[in-house]
């Protein structure tokens, strides 16, 4: 009699195991479903603070403006502690260096404290500068070439270092011609523009000085 009971329990053990797992799954699901949803907005990517017509300015030691960041709107998101700028523009006006401005039509999110990533239709303009004609590492001098305009769809800007870079396709235009390339590093302090690869276009040399 005892052996018959043991045999029956052995035969039913897989069924009992599956039934126990099903009951455990149901209990866990009920526990999760019974927890009320958080209504503080922390699980959503919603702003908790915004500023319209945002503008931040940095001054040099002599009191003149050296950097400025402006946007139609600045929003802070508590879920990841990020800040998003709508229609952003950065302007570098350090004494003794050409003015450099960068603007984009899509929101920009700072990747770090001193790095801002621009996407969309990005346009950077450096006043009174021209890239070198070799298409690799030119000297940006305040010569007759006039302002240099750089357009791309992705640009990382480091305002404190006066640098901008991109691994994407770029177009550089100024009064003497136009150049297309892939990858660029612009150093406003050293007055250099380095193009990485795929350099092509037309560029007329400056006329000799009289």
* Whether 70 and 125 share a structural domain: yes
93 and 9, same structural domain?
no
pLDDT at 12: 46
94 and 192 share a domain? yes
- Say which range, 58-62, 64-68, 108-112, has the weakest mean pLDDT: 108-112
Q: Confirm whether 27 is domain-assigned.
A: yes
* Overall pTM > 0.85: no
189 in the same domain as 85: yes
Task: Tell whether 18 and 92 lie within a shared domain.
Answer: no
On whether residue 41 sits in a domain, the answer given is no
* Closest by Cα among 143, 134, 147, 113 to 194: 134
Rounded mean pLDDT of 18-42? 57
Q: Are 50 and 75 in contact (CB under 8 A)?
A: yes
Shared domain for 53 and 147, answered yes or no, is: yes
What integer pLDDT is reported at residue 110 of this predicted model?
75
User: 8 lies in a domain?
Assistant: yes
Q: Per the domain annotation, does 207 fall within a domain? A: no
Backbone angles phi, psi at 203, to 5 degrees: -150, 115
> Alpha carbon of 69 to those of 23, 43, 45, 48, 102: distances in Å?
59, 29, 24, 21, 10
Pairing relationship of beta strands 82-86 and 109-112 according to DSSP bridges: unpaired
- Using pLDDT thresholds of 50, 70 and 90, give the confidence band for residue 198: very high
Say whether both 20 and 104 belong to one domain: no
Per-chain mean pLDDT for the chain: 76
Q: Quick one: 14 and 110 in the same domain?
A: no
Is 122's pLDDT higher than 60? yes
Whether residues 164 and 109 share a domain: the answer is yes
Assess if residue 40 is contained within a domain: no
Q: In the chain, how many domains are there?
A: 2
Beta bridge partners of 76: 49, 83
What CATH number is given to the structural domain containing 72? 2.60.450.10
3-state secondary structure of 67: strand
Asked if 123 and 180 sit in the same domain, the reply is yes
Q: Is residue 42 part of a domain?
A: no
Residues 87 and 1 in one domain: no
Beta bridge partners of 86: 73
Q: Does a structural domain hold residue 79?
A: yes
**Domain for residue 209, yes or no?**
no
Domain range for 4 is 1-35
Check whether residue 83 and residue 171 sit in a common domain.
yes
């Amino acid at each position: 009699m005892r052996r018959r009971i043991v045999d029956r329990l052995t035969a039913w053990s897989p069924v009992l195991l599956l039934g126990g797992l099903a009951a455990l799954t149901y209990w866990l699901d009920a526990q999760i479903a019974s927890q009320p949803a958080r209504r503080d907005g922390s699980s959503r990517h919603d702003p908790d603070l915004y500023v319209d017509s945002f503008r931040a300015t940095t001054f040099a030691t002599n009191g003149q403006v050296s950097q400025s960041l402006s946007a139609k709107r600045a929003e802070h998101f508590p879920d990841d502690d990020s800040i998003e700028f709508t229609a952003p523009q950065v302007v570098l006006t350090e004494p003794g260096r050409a003015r450099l401005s960068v603007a984009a039509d899509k929101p920009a999110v700072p990747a770090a404290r001193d790095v801002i990533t621009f996407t969309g239709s990005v346009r950077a303009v450096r006043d009174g500068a021209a890239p070198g004609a070799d298409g690799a590492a030119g000297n940006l001098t305040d010569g007759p070439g006039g302002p240099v305009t750089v357009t791309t769809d992705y640009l990382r800007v480091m305002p404190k270092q006066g640098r901008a870079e991109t691994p994407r396709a770029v177009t550089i235009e100024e009064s003497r011609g136009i150049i297309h390339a892939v990858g660029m590093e612009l150093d406003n302090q050293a007055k250099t523009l380095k193009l990485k690869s795929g350099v092509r276009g037309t560029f007329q040399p400056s006329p000799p000085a009289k």
